[in-house]
Amino acid sequence: MFLARRQQMQEEWKENATKLDWIGDITMEEVKQHNTKKDCWVVLNGFVYDISQYILHHPGGSNCFMPPNSKDITRNYYAVHPKVDPELIEKLKIGVLVTKEA
């Protein structure tokens, strides 16, 4: 029952989430500047997401996204959420992670 309710809550959140504008190329340095509960960017599978509107709805709390934790959440995401489709936060995708050119 708990899992069914959680899945329902995720679907409701996904449906009601505000789709964010695409920024484009974003460096890790830029991602790291967005490190508060009200302004939080993370990297998942090489894409950058502004999870600010989701962070307070995250069942595990917001601390897992705050420093000193890594801003690239890919490994932890799949370790903890093997059955949660990343599509849940698709509307929050704002760019692609790029390396800074010299």
Residue 38: alpha-carbon gap to chain centroid: 13
Q: Where are the alpha helices (DSSP H) in the chain?
A: 2-16, 28-32, 74-80
Q: pLDDT tens digits, residue range 79-102?
A: 988 877 888 899 999 999 998 764
pTM of the complete model beyond 0.85: yes
- Residues present in the chain in total: 102
Residue 28: alpha-carbon gap to chain centroid: 14
* Average pLDDT of the residues of the chain: 88
Query: For residue 31, what pLDDT band results from cuts at 50, 70 and 90?
Result: very high
Report how far residue 39's alpha carbon sits from residue 3's, in angstroms, rounded to the nearest whole number: 29
Q: pLDDT at position 66, please?
A: 81
pLDDT at 6 over 80: no
